[in-house]
Every structure is written in C-alpha cells, then in structure tokens.
Amino acid sequence: MLDYNSELDRIMNSDLSPEEMEREMNKLNEMLATASDNSRKAEFEELDAGAAEQSAAANKEDIRGSVLSIPVTVEIVIGRRVMSVDDLLGLRRGEVVDLDKMVGEPADVVVNGKILGRGELVIFEGEKLGVTLTEINK
C-alpha cells in the first residue's frame, strides 16, 4: 500500500536535483493514480431489520443467561455490635453479645454487601432457620 505522505517526505528531504525531484514526483503521482484506479467501492449486503432484531434478541438472552448464572453471596444479618479488639479477645464461651436490634425486629437481607431488603426470621422443616421477606429495596 502506498503511503503518499511518507514518499513525499522522502523525496522532499533528499539531495535530488530539481530534474530528479520532478521525475520522482511524477512517479509518485502515477503510483497514486494507479492506486486510485485499482480501488473499488465497498459493497455491503442489504441489512435485514428482522434478522438484526432476532440476532440482538438472541444476544440479549445469552447475556441475560450468563448474568443470571453469576453466584452471589446472601447474608441474613440479625444485628450488629461494635466492640474493641480487646473486648473481642476477651469473649468467652457462654457470654452473651448484645446486638443493636430487639426481638421481633426484621433482619437485613444483604446481597454482595448491599442491603436488598428485610425480613422476619422463621423456623421451618423442624429446626431450619429462614427469612420471610417483608420488604424489598428497589
């Protein structure tokens, strides 16, 4: 491929005589004309709007499926307590750590570190602990 500007710089910065420079410029212009004659107009197929929409919809579904399969961490936080490291290290088996929530207050449902909503703690299937969602943040 012809780089007209590079060739022009090469000719202009050379130690050619005026006649040699004119000859080189004529060659360069001939090469440029030949390159223009050999070029052709780009051709594109007619775009089928229906096919494009179907392809876009399929891609959207693929992305949606990929996103929906990403695992997230869900935590149910029944309360919090701020304490010093010294107090934390002083905890012993059987001690009670009082939390910032009262019995009956909803627990926070946290997904990947962000509060998704709140819910009430429930016992199901005998001894399993769960949450009934009572509030979902938008």
- Quick: pLDDT tens for 45-54: 776 777 777 7
DSSP class of residue 64 equals H
- Quick: pLDDT tens for 15-62: 888 888 888 888 878 877 776 666 666 777 776 777 777 777 777 777
The domain limits of the chain are 4-37, 74-136
CATH architecture for residues 74-136: Roll (2.30)
Count of helices and strands (H, E) across the chain: 4, 4
Could you please report the per-residue DSSP string of 44-87?
-PPP-HHHHHHHHHHHHHHHHHHHHTS---EEEE-------HHH
Pairing of strands 128-136, 114-124: antiparallel
Closest CA to 136 of 115, 113, 107: 115
pTM of the model: 0.50
